[in-house]
């Protein structure tokens, strides 16, 4: 059984936790949050052990009545691999912590290629990822492009592609970035 830690239980982290739970050879070792908001409550409701990213802020969770199992450092002690789902750029800052803990890591597309030295898409370069300590999953946009272009390239050869991306509205907590089908209870200042 592979114990998977998820550092950052946000938009992507939530989905990865559920995807890991659906596998029969992996389990979620725990998930992390910096603050005790609705996502922290959701993690507990779903049965995931919750850990604090910032050790000094453990008290905030207690005050909000949310039980935590410790800090990210405690979580890494019983994880085989961590999926870093922190906001873009934070993964690079987290990498030395994973190296020190001797835990393999998967970074998300908000990180630069250099954070892992291999940008990964399961359809295109699965074999290259085997045995590596660090990989970075390409962004959602690049994933979409890879899934369409790779099979076309394999079958016919693609010399050049002109691509139009049609994206969904922004994430629930990011209303400032664009249109979203959400009610905002408080005027945005
Ligand atoms: N959203 C998308 O559609 C999408 C698609 C593809 C790739 N990505 C990539 O996935 C990554 C995560 O994006 P997201 O959209 O899931 O972001 P998000 O919804 O903002 O979630 C980020 C999570 O990281 C936590 N966090 C904050 N600071 C942290 C730290 N220092 N260490 C660890 N965790 C920390 C946050 O906890 P608190 O809320 O408690 O602070 C939150 O749970 C980014 O690299 C992004 O580019 C996103």
Q: How far apart are CA 10 and CA 16, in angstroms?
A: 10
Own/partner long-range contacts of 55-62 (Cβ < 8 Å, ≥24 apart): 60/35, 60/36, 61/33, 61/36
What would the mean pLDDT of 123-147 be, rounded to a whole number?
96
Residue of higher predicted confidence among 175 and 91: 91
Eight-state DSSP code of residue 122: H
Centre of ligand 1 from the C-alpha of residue 85, in Å: 5
pLDDT of residue 9 exceeding 60, the answer is yes
pLDDT in tens, 15-34: 999 999 999 999 999 999 99
Cα of 61 to ligand 1 centre, how many Å? Answer: 19
Known catalytic membership, residue 140: yes
Question: Mean pLDDT over residues 38-54, rounded?
Answer: 97
Q: Of residues 85, 124, 140, 146, which has the active-site annotation?
A: 140
pLDDT of amino acid 154: 97
Q: Give the pLDDT of residue 186.
A: 63
- Taking only Cα atoms into account, the Rg of the chain, rounded to an integer number of angstroms, comes to 18
Whether 36 is in the pocket of ligand 1, judged by its Cβ within 6 Å, is no
Report the pLDDT value the prediction gives residue 56, as an integer from 0 to 100: 97
- Determine which residue's CA is closest to atom 28 belonging to ligand 1: 86
DSSP code, position 178 = S
CA–CA separation, 51 and 68 (whole Å): 5
Q: Tens of pLDDT along 138-174? A: 999 999 999 999 999 999 999 999 999 887 777 877 7
For the chain, which residues make up each domain, given as ranges?
A: 2-139
Strand order in the sheet with 70-71: 70-71, 50-52, 26-33, 2-7, 81-84, 104-107, 134-137, 119-120
Q: Among residues 65, 88, 72, which one has the least CA distance to residue 11? A: 88
Q: Which residue lies with its CA nearest to atom 17 of ligand 1?
A: 87
What pLDDT score does 171 carry?
81
**Domain spanning 2-139: CATH superfamily:** NAD(P)-binding Rossmann-like Domain (3.40.50.720)
9 to 43, 64, 183: CA distances (angstroms): 8, 17, 22
Residues 176, 181, 184, CA angle at the centre, nearest 5°?
60
Q: What percent of the chain has pLDDT over 90?
A: 87
Which of the four pLDDT bands, split at 50, 70 and 90, describes residue 189? low
Judge contact between 123 and 150, C-beta under 8 A: yes
The rounded Cα 187 to chain-centroid distance in angstroms is: 29
Cα of 128 to ligand 1 centre, how many Å?
26
The verdict on the CB of residue 84 being under 6 Å from ligand 1 is no
The percent of residues above 70 in pLDDT, for the chain, comes to 94
Between these two residues, 188 and 92, which has the higher pLDDT value?
A: 92
Q: Is the CB of 90 under 6 A from ligand 1?
A: yes
Mutate to test the pocket of ligand 1, among 8, 37, 138 (most ligand atoms within 8 A of CB): 8
User: Which comes out higher in pLDDT, residue 176 or 81?
Assistant: 81
pLDDT of residue 169: 76
């Amino acid at each position: 059984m592979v114990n998977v830690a998820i550092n950052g239980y946000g938009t992507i982290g939530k989905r990865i936790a559920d995807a890991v739970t659906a596998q029969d050879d992996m389990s979620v070792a725990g998930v992390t949050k910096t603050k005790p908001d609705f996502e922290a409550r959701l993690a507990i409701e779903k049965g995931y052990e919750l850990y604090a990213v910032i050790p000094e802020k453990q008290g905030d969770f207690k005050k909000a009545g949310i039980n935590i199992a410790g800090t990210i450092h405690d979580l890494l002690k019983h994880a085989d691999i961590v999926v870093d789902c922190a906001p873009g750029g934070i993964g690079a800052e987290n990498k030395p912590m994973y190296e020190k803990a001797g835990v393999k890591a998967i970074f998300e597309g908000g990180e630069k290629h250099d954070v892992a030295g291999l940008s990964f898409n399961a359809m295109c370069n699965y074999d290259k990822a085997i045995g590596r300590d660090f990989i970075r999953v390409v962004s959602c946009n690049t994933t979409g492009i890879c899934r369409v272009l790779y099979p076309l390239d394999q079958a016919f050869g693609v010399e050049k592609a002109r691509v139009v991306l049609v994206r969904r509205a922004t994430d629930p907590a990011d209303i400032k970035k664009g249109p979203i089908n959400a009610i905002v209870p408080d005027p945005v200042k």
